[in-house]
Structure formats: C-alpha cells, structure tokens
Copies of this chain bind each other. A is one copy, B any other.
Amino acid sequence: MSSIVAVGSLAFDSIETPFGKVGKILGGSANHFSLSASYFTPVKCISVVGEDYPKDHLEELKSRRIDLTGVKVSPGKTFHWSGKYGYDLHEATTLETHLNVFEHFSPEVPASYRDSSFLFLGNIFPALQKQVLGHLPQARFVALDTMNFWIESQREGLIDVLGKVNCLIINEAELRQLTKTHNVVKAAAQVQSWGPSLVVVKRGEYGALLFNGQEAFSLPGLPLSEVKDPTGAGDSFAGGFLGYLAAQGNPQPDRVSLRQAVVYGSVMASFIVEDFGCHQLLKISKDKISERFQKFRDLTHFQ
C-alpha cells in the first residue's frame, strides 16, 4: 500500500442547484479528493486555509489518516467559491470567486512527503502543479486535474506540465476545449501525444471513459433517483481512482486495475452527488463502497 500526495484547495463553497441552496459549506478539491481517497489509502495533503477555517474539520481530516503537515494556516480568509447549476448539472456558472489566502499560495512539499510514488495534482494554477511535481522526483504515478479557467488562461503552461504526468483527469467539455477537437477519441489521442498515456474523461451522469494507450474502457454513470449537487464529484472520482491504485501499490498498474480504479472513482462520485457538500463522504463505509462497486457490475455486465 502506498500513500498519495495531493495538492489542491481547501475552501468554502456556496452552491445553488434546482434542488436546494447552501452557503459556506466545506469544499475544495483537496478536501473532496482526500476524504474520498482516505477510504483506500493514507493521503498527504498540500494546501492553504485562512484563520476562519474550522479547526474541527482539520481534526476530522487528521482522524481519517489524512496528513496535514503540508497545509498552511495563513493570516486572512479561506478561499470562497459561489456557483450555480441548472437542471442538467453538467456545468457550474461561477457567481463569485474570492481567492483570499489562495491568491498567494505557493505550495511547499514537506520532507516527509518526498518519498511518495503517487501524486494527485488537483485543479490549481498549472505552474504550481509543475512546482509540486518538481519537488517529488520519486512520484511515478502522477495524475492531473484541471478546468476551463486554466485552459483559457494558461493553455501553454498546462500542456507543458502535461508532458510530465501519466494521467489527465478531465471533464468531457474541457477535453474538447483543451484540444480544440470535438471528437473525444481524437481529442484523447491529442492529449496522449503531449505525454500522458492515460486520459480519463469525466462525463457527469453519463459516467467516465478511460483511454489507456490504444484501448478504451467506458463505464456509464449509476442511475440515481436523487442527485442534488455535482460539486466535488470530479475530485471524489479522482480520490477513488488514485486511492484504489495507490492501495494496490503498483505505480505501473495493469489494465484490469485501471478499469477497476475507474469503477471505484465512479462509486465515490456517486455518493457525493446525492447531497450538498462533503458529508456524504464522511458517513460511508468500506462495505457501502463494495456494495456500490457490485452495483456497477450488475448495471454493466451482459455476459
């Protein structure tokens, strides 16, 4: 079993969907990723919070084998994002972004993190992703997430750091935007030509698609009768995906492990969308994860 180093945001989210509205709940990519991955393996987190960030949540994270040595508490306020979704829940409209302490975030990698072979570069400024990567020379399985904001403003920097990672995890619309290509098969091949042999395409309720070299694996989403808020689904997916692989311990995972990692990612995402915020991720169990893994098998196998 290997641990995972994860860099990303710890934040407050204010969210409105057709199914409800919440203010200043706990969010951020590092939060959702770490909670999700911690069901599989220990996580070493790199992030920054302000003085207003709840101490009890930091304690909660620590109690779940999430190492916070790399989380800095800075003077000022925590990053706060406000967004809104329509019925289709595929894309958020950002209402407000207060970067606060995140504005001057310069991730530092504690010495105790440096022997990690699994690394998750959450959705932050590509140059900072590159900086973290540079401090972890032993990282052998590196996955990167990004979003439309960086694709628009930092496309060259993003393509540069992609040359150094094994796996890109990205929304379908953002894959099209990044590659300027509509067809997903061609778009994934374009990304592979920049470096990563693995491209995981997140398709919301339609599931996820993995391109592994020349071969593809596609997993539909679990049909759910309650979906309230998709915020954090992508990071929960990444947590399950990398968490499972790191728990297996092999930074050169085989074909079947990668497929099963996509299923575990989808399992974790399926929990978080059922309600607002991250508390779904606080109350599940390994049994529930196994049960839902089996549900995906029942949903998809035909022979």
Contact = CB atoms under 8 A, between A and B. Distances in A.
Contact of A223 (B209, B297, B300, B301): B209
Nearest to A186: B225
A260 B226 CA distance: 28
A261 B18 CA distance: 36
A209 B217 CA distance: 17
Given A218-B220, A220-B207, A260 B225 contact: no
B209 A220 contact: yes
A220 B219 contact: yes
Contact of A225 (B185, B226, B262): B185
Contacts of A263: 302
A260 B302 contact: yes
A216 B87 CA distance: 22
Copies per assembly: 2
A259 interface: yes
Contacts of A216: 223, 299
Interface in A245-303: 256, 259-260, 262-263, 297-303
Chain A interface, >50% SS class: mixed
Contacts of A301: 300-301, 303
A300 B206 CA distance: 13
A218 B302 CA distance: 10
A218 B299 contact: yes
A270 B303 CA distance: 20
Interface residues of A, number: 36
A64 B207 CA distance: 38
Contacts of A209: 220, 223
B223 A302 contact: no
A218 B183 contact: no
A301 B262 CA distance: 12
Interface string A217-256: 1111101111100000000000000000000000000001
Contacts of A259: 302
Nearest to A87: B182
A184 interface: yes
17 contacts: A87-B182, A183-B226, A185-B225, A203-B206, A207-B218, A209-B220, A209-B223, A215-B298, A218-B220, A218-B300, A219-B300, A256-B302, A259-B302, A260-B303, A262-B302, A263-B302, A301-B301
The 4 A-B pairs with the shortest beta carbon distances in the complex, nearest first, are A218-B220, A259-B302, A206-B206, A185-B225
